[in-house]
Structure 1
């Protein structure tokens, strides 16, 4: 017999059901409701254990029945097994798909197909029914083509499992067929509770229960004739279906309303009863009395919303005596707001249970599995091997793992390079360090071989999975590692992660079992096996149970089922979130489902039904609280985009017009609310103190909090004060410490390079870190700017050495410089790149496809630059050239060092000049090769921002203060030892080494080639300054008309030569003034450096600052928002 009982949500249905149970009773509830239903039973019956009463879900009932009566000897296929099987089938049928072709490797598509087949089975739609359905549809319609693809996959799936396997839905169907043999059912009374909708398969189950059980009692939330009857349409339809079902079975049934007088549940706060009756009523009646139990909040953003909810809950716990278990938090947007709620609640000392399913893809055991598959397929790049190491399951210590990771990325270890002892970069490490790296490599290689070798001989899926199992369990001892990780996570308070670790081995074994069950005898390639396994991993979602009863549960309307609670907190009451917008995502969209429904085809759940279920869940949830209701929405999202309140929020404001919509606690700026939590209060205290610095008075509550934190949380307060009153100050080391840090040896003088002095001029603190503390930069073994510069410099030096002959002036007609042709120049560069260039840094230039491409590009740049360089020489007059000319104290140096006298002693500037040209008339020209976008600027040189060219020129001209150094060096410099004081400056230039790029879209096609050649030469023009002397101009620029292709000057019509830019062509007097200004700046900088100046004081020139490319921006704390933080403006 069937008994249908119904009532509104204010009826205590738990009391009604458990007050009527007698004898052997089964209570059938949805899967996610079993735990809460058991708790409700304990509470209503007042017992600590259940004897003749059992709470059970439909799937569990099916298992119990088949265990009792026996079933076919077939293996069971769960959702994950079906997912893996479908991924294989779809991949095999990809060429036969029409609409869904190209989606075979998309995990989301496999998920959706899995869900659709599951729904079709629940709606009793086998693949044999599809041809008839297809006949009802228009030819060539998208819906028909979709269903043809579905039919193909569905039929293949059914053929694959026929006679061997039974999936979850078929399992329930098998149970339905065998219920007639179950004595357990025949002697039971059954209550069906917690459902709003029954799929056809579930109706079949209930029908069999009606036919066999003593009584079947179905309890539904339903009412008729009320102003909100619309929300009960879904359950009303279910009542009619149940009645028809009972009639079809010729079984008697009754349909009766539960008497309110016996089971009416009156909330402790009367105003909350209005929500149950008026939320969906048309028209809704207003609550005219006080409504102190209702709190409505308009928050600025999700963070402020979460903090307001946390403070509200904390007040309920402290002032109202509630327990964690008395409070439920509902948020339908856990994907976005979940992490915010969890973090903010924990800051408030609340530790919520997040009721949601979790992916296992990031679990180290699963990551290990994925990387092993990639490795077995031959993917031995650094990412794969380092990924294996970082799982923590390969037996390396953390130090070993980090060293090996750094080495692998630095030198781009891949492929067979892992199998040979490392040799690259041996000089970068201490011998024992390099040995440790190789030992770690050997350990990893042995572990990989132990896996890959047995896998080579495995042919079937079953054999391959056996290799996986043996390797994980016996070789790597993964279960022991899991136990260790779980204990560590528990000790650190990461209970959810610890629970996941306890489950992961079981989940992996179940997936193995499913895979062997479905595809054990198949001979899949490693690629196919990886695809199928990954599909299985992606399909697993791990659900968790609360660790204790006394927890705050945070969940969604549909998933989270609560008993009677004292307080309900609803967060995210925004349009489209509460109620959730029904997603149209799926194999079939809502229009297509309706098109089928209108043709009397019901093969899956309509979106309209899902919307009705969401409304019913909303109604049920908001009717739960006994004493307090908090509902909030945010006016903007995390990115500042506008959000609107939901219709539910607006309806609540209409029901309770006297309830003021509050602002979030941050917008209110009420100290008593902001200081609810010890951990979070310090954040708001900090904000109050910051505003006090801007002139806003500190409120008394914050003053009292300040005293409390000073007494009880001194360390926290000190950090706050250090941050608030942080000020960049001029810092200095004492001179002795500066000497210890900066001197490289026992020499009296401090030695600097030009680039180092330039770095100090730009920011003393960056100089201190680079040359004082000397942190090691993590560099990768690749062709970057530094490596390109090295190759360019080396190539041009080798070319210059090849062309320069002892005793023959550079521009003598018989010199190789003057007779070289473009073809000969290109051939030389090609030979260099294939020879010496190929040996650079242990073969870096040809270490892979990317490096080879860059090497080809560098070859083009070198060829172009080399020939332009030769042309520049051929057009000028040069007597002698020094390449990579070093200046310093050692006798082998071409020039003596620059000696700077300071109050603290001498400072020597030493370095290397790319090229020094000795011109007729004792003139000296400097060229510095640059692969960047360096531009010489007179003001920057005077300010010390750009010093290198002027320092190189000073060294090549001969520093009068360095005569002692010259005497000391003796005559070992040979012919280079000349009377440097007789030399005169000609100019100093940057020569740019880069591939020229220019926009030719507007150029005349007839003159294109000529224009390209002109622009090409212009791109290699020297940039710098030169002396306005006829001899200098003749020696450097040669003969030219109009603008020079070599230097930034042009010849006017009257024959006068002028600079093409500001301060490019200087008179001898102007040049001397520049040299004097630079000398003064050099002396000033050397004095400051020797005195130990290390203050954070970056300079700024135009739009460029010293911070632009600085590696230490995260260390210095420089921020123009802080007092004392300002750039030193160069120009």
Structure 2
């Protein structure tokens, strides 16, 4: 029995040396058994390397194994433990079951273990405890001298860990227990006894692995351990954790101690000498990097006799983002394959953040026709079948909520077509269908826009949906149902909906599309799900289980699920992780993502035990996985191993922004390399990226095309673009693509409109218009065309919106005002109790028309109380605003097409326009033979009268309504002078009053509730609104009087002449807008006024695709003072008179 260490730095040829010796000895001694033991993920690559070195390309007495594979070989020979092994998925199922049962007993972890991924973390901690041979009872000692919080957390861990061990005892093994069981029977194995054992690829052994190593030392003829260690280092001086080769020296120390315990002869250390014959024999830069990276001395590389010459073995690159990094790697791979005869297998791309870079590598390499293998087990969580199962269970648990129903129907495996799903979704939103009970009852509520016969279609979809899911609903809600019964119900559902057939169809589609990795994933997923259901039946089958717990158990299983992807070919680029991926003979390595937070990796995302917890345990000499500090130093060692893999060329790249656009900094590693190689320049891929390289990949060609097309618009096409365009023109397929791009580059909006004839057919020769429609047209003609010309509509939803709030308040105020008129009662004379009682009656009558909506949810029911409070406050304020004045309500909700004649306009081309609308309230006052009118429009939003917006047609409501009322009243009273008095918006709201003086709260509230708008500024008329106003600010109108008794500059008032100018201008503007509509104007021409635009709440942005970056421009409107706007209106009227 003997032990020998073979050491050497990375690239020194250690593995090559021991493999050649092993093959030579195995050929000379065919009677002996040779065992090569490597980490699990390295077995295939090691077998491939040894086979390639074998003279006969075959292995008779050599086995390549991992520790687990060794165990099963020995168990097969000796008849080991017959219990099945509980793998990670099974462990998660058991942990989830224990957590659900013990949740009430967990003081600290009870809530946190319900988070997604928390069960996986607990499972990992249990695996760690078992790897380090820590029993549940030992955890009690951890709490001694610790804080109450830490003690409670450890007791929670102990509870779950003990429950886990109790549950599997006598039934299952875990992978962590296998090495211990192996040690119990390995002595009986002829495979191991007197064999020659080689351990390669390890950076250290866990405690349970050390048990096996100890037995190997006692049984084998010889054990050789290959260790990565600089030849200049003393293997017996372990040193501190901060030293680069600390892990290697600790492995030597611990293994030598095992040899001493087993009385195994320790042979002299053999050092692999790389000088002149190692990996870097012809590459002085990479040799210097290997010899000095992370070492003391700060040595600097100078190329002998070639000072300042570019470093040929190492490249540094700075990219804008990760996509540009991966694109650059693809370009270099294509170029080197073409120019230097490399094979794709000579390249590798590694990173410290494979999750972020994997998708980009898949997309870019596939589009560039670069064969690749992504060394990453893919999670099943995003697979279509898993999403179908998760969504249908979510639907059952959430009682058929809207979100859960359509998550399931859009999972891709339902029998519903996309069109059927859209139809049902539109109906469910419009009718407010929520809950399983509503789906079981016939749909009766018909949306406003639908015909009666449409209900047959909706109910047909309802019945189809129930037939698909009802059996599963009954099976999952079975009283006292067990986990096994629920698993069986789910299986029947998957069979009934033909999910296996659909998955196979997807697999075939991926195969035809040559997406081999997705094909491989879909070929395994059905078997994985069936195996998971079988495990649930086997492990938890007879356990009574609530549906939520069953869902959690499945989730735990899915989170563990990984689909292993086999390399699809021999000649391919390997894309992997710096720590896990085993690289073969790589000539060129691209190390991407060399950024802070990735290198070194951020360790902030803890687990069940935080970093503080682990440090406290370390102080108590409790050995567990490395702490964050230890992990940082270990990462340096893995960086060293990765960066010294390539034989010819090492690329290091970093990006200025993350994939999400967040700014990020380069890693410290970049500055480390720069200090070692001061002549090495960082290449900026934005500034220094020749077109010749970019032509290598579709991504690069696309960007070059876009730049060239942009240059064409400025008459500056580049020579590279012309060459690329010529190359594309010679390919029929690419020629069509080029034509599309050239057409797009010459795109500009042709706002020619639809013409008068089509407009007449769409709108009719008598245009029936609302003021809101005119304002929308003024905001953007194209939006008006989509709304009123094409009749596009947003989906109807059965929800209580701000618009519904406004409608109810309007109707209630109308009822209130009409009730007063019907009973011949004066608003201003009502007592407080009378006013409130009448307001409540008005609201109750109105709510009768909206009860289905308002009482559909608890939230909406609460809204009724708010409506009642707001209505009472509103009628109080409106009453207070009437009391000090002479105006009295004359009518409410007056319709243009009702009592009042239609407002008609004769337009260009013979068309007519008829305006319709409803005026919320009209008040009148007769004084000195003149009849003054006040109109009020109730608003629940924050609309303010803005004369600039009025001038541009964006706010026409109040002056249009005033003009209509004036005309109608003048007809009624031909002998009187009917004049405008005021036009107001009243904002229905509940303002927050603070800092009001004691006793002045009502006055402060009344001031906040003053109407907004415009009233006549003449003193006598102002006093018709507020007879008590002498100076200062009124509480009931938007006017402040100065010391001279005149309205201040900021008051909402205007002289009678200005009122007439404003109303005449509005009349002309309405006619102009109507004429433009009937001319067929449909320009995409939204306005901008300050920070407000017509696009702000427009639902059609995806239709018009208005984009300032592509040359689109807003119509800029500059806000002006009231006087300036009135002057412009006056001039506009004068110019029109002159033209006549």
TM-score of the aligned structures, taking structure 2 as reference length = 0.88
What's the CA shift string for 1:268-314, capped at 9, x where partnerless?
74233333333344434625257423222233443443333332222
How many angstroms apart in 2 are the aligned matches of 1:173 and 1:761? Answer: 82
Q: 2:248 aligns with which of 235, 260, 268?
A: 235
Contact 1:898 1:955 (C-alpha < 8 Å) held by counterparts? no
What's the CA shift string for 1:717-744, capped at 9, x where partnerless?
455455555445543322101112222x
1:120 corresponds to which residue? 129
Q: 1:1048 aligns with which of 1031, 1038, 1042?
A: 1038
How many angstroms apart in 2 are the aligned matches of 1:1078 and 1:261? Answer: 92
What's the CA shift string for 1:657-699, capped at 9, x where partnerless?
44x323232222533333333443232342355367569x554
2:1122 corresponds to which residue? none
2:978 corresponds to which residue? 984
**Higher deviation after alignment, 899-908 or 225-234:** 225-234
Contact 1:665 1:674 (C-alpha < 8 Å) held by counterparts? no
2:779 corresponds to which residue? 762
Contact 1:875 1:1038 (C-alpha < 8 Å) held by counterparts? yes
1:897 corresponds to which residue? 903
**Cα distance change on mapping 1:351 and 1:741 into 2, 3 Å:** farther
Displacement after TM superposition at 1:1071 (Å): 1.9
**What secondary structure, in the 3-state scheme, does the structure 2 residue paired with 1:547 have?**
coil
Q: 2:606 aligns with which of 581, 585, 606?
A: 585
What's the CA shift string for 1:9-60, capped at 9, x where partnerless?
3244454344324245443221211222232233222667655544332223
1:1015 corresponds to which residue? 1004
**1:16 has 2:9 as partner:** no
Contact 1:943 1:1130 (C-alpha < 8 Å) held by counterparts? no
Displacement after TM superposition at 1:348 (Å): 4.5
**Higher deviation after alignment, 496-505 or 377-386:** 496-505
Contact 1:876 1:1034 (C-alpha < 8 Å) held by counterparts? yes
**What secondary structure, in the 3-state scheme, does the structure 1 residue paired with 2:114 have?**
coil
**Higher deviation after alignment, 164-173 or 510-519:** 510-519
How many angstroms apart in 2 are the aligned matches of 1:257 and 1:568? Answer: 29
**Cα distance change on mapping 1:724 and 1:537 into 2, 3 Å:** same
Displacement after TM superposition at 1:803 (Å): 1.7
**Higher deviation after alignment, 618-627 or 714-723:** 714-723
What's the CA shift string for 1:856-884, capped at 9, x where partnerless?
22232222223433454565556773433
**What secondary structure, in the 3-state scheme, does the structure 1 residue paired with 2:177 have?**
helix
How many angstroms apart in 1 are the aligned matches of 2:700 and 2:658? Answer: 22
1:996 corresponds to which residue? 990
TM-score of the aligned structures, taking structure 1 as reference length = 0.88
How many angstroms apart in 2 are the aligned matches of 1:547 and 1:1090? Answer: 64
Contact 1:902 1:1087 (C-alpha < 8 Å) held by counterparts? yes
How many angstroms apart in 2 are the aligned matches of 1:378 and 1:699? Answer: 59
How many angstroms apart in 1 are the aligned matches of 2:622 and 2:107? Answer: 23
**Cα distance change on mapping 1:648 and 1:721 into 2, 3 Å:** same
**Cα distance change on mapping 1:835 and 1:38 into 2, 3 Å:** farther
Q: CA RMSD in A?
A: 3.5
2:314 corresponds to which residue? 294
After TM superposition, the structure 1 = structure 2 runs for residues 180-579 of structure 1, keeping only pairs within 5 Å, are 180-186=187-193, 189-213=196-220, 215-226=222-233, 230-257=243-270, 260=273, 264-267=277-280, 269-271=282-284, 272-283=286-297, 284=299, 286=301, 288-289=303-304, 291-346=311-366, 348-350=368-370, 352-377=372-397, 379-415=399-435, 416-457=437-478, 459=480, 461-492=482-513, 494-579=515-600
Q: 1:775 aligns with which of 775, 792, 803?
A: 792
**Higher deviation after alignment, 347-356 or 748-757:** 347-356
Contact 2:903 2:915 (C-alpha < 8 Å) held by counterparts? yes
What's the CA shift string for 1:1019-1076, capped at 9, x where partnerless?
332322233567855665566555444432356666x4636745x3333322222222
**Cα distance change on mapping 1:174 and 1:1070 into 2, 3 Å:** same
Contact 1:349 1:679 (C-alpha < 8 Å) held by counterparts? no
Contact 2:87 2:175 (C-alpha < 8 Å) held by counterparts? yes
How many angstroms apart in 1 are the aligned matches of 2:146 and 2:686? Answer: 60
Displacement after TM superposition at 1:987 (Å): 3.8
Displacement after TM superposition at 1:237 (Å): 2.5
Contact 1:1027 1:1067 (C-alpha < 8 Å) held by counterparts? yes
After TM superposition, the structure 1 = structure 2 runs for residues 614-653 of structure 1, keeping only pairs within 5 Å, are 614-635=635-656, 637=658, 643-653=664-674
How many angstroms apart in 2 are the aligned matches of 1:1053 and 1:766? Answer: 49
What's the CA shift string for 1:160-197, capped at 9, x where partnerless?
22222222211332222122333444485443221111
How many angstroms apart in 1 are the aligned matches of 2:663 and 2:1046? Answer: 63
How many angstroms apart in 1 are the aligned matches of 2:355 and 2:1013? Answer: 58
1:811 corresponds to which residue? none
Contact 2:391 2:411 (C-alpha < 8 Å) held by counterparts? no
Q: 2:1060 aligns with which of 1068, 1072, 1084?
A: 1072
1:733 corresponds to which residue? 754
**What secondary structure, in the 3-state scheme, does the structure 1 residue paired with 2:332 have?**
helix
Contact 2:487 2:537 (C-alpha < 8 Å) held by counterparts? no
What's the CA shift string for 1:499-539, capped at 9, x where partnerless?
33333233323333333343333223233333333233333
1:856 corresponds to which residue? 865
Q: How many residues align?
A: 1090
Contact 1:757 1:1085 (C-alpha < 8 Å) held by counterparts? yes
Contact 1:274 1:287 (C-alpha < 8 Å) held by counterparts? no
What's the CA shift string for 1:341-398, capped at 9, x where partnerless?
4445455454644333433333333333333434444532111222221222332112
**What secondary structure, in the 3-state scheme, does the structure 1 residue paired with 2:467 have?**
helix
What's the CA shift string for 1:465-520, capped at 9, x where partnerless?
44334323432332222222333344455544443333323332333333334333
**1:830 has 2:840 as partner:** yes
Q: 2:892 aligns with which of 883, 890, 908?
A: 883
Contact 2:775 2:954 (C-alpha < 8 Å) held by counterparts? yes
How many angstroms apart in 2 are the aligned matches of 1:983 and 1:186? Answer: 121
**Cα distance change on mapping 1:469 and 1:353 into 2, 3 Å:** same
Which consecutive residues of structure 1, in runs of 5 or more, have no partner in the other structure?
A: 809-813, 960-974
1:1084 corresponds to which residue? 1072
1:965 corresponds to which residue? none
**Cα distance change on mapping 1:861 and 1:125 into 2, 3 Å:** same
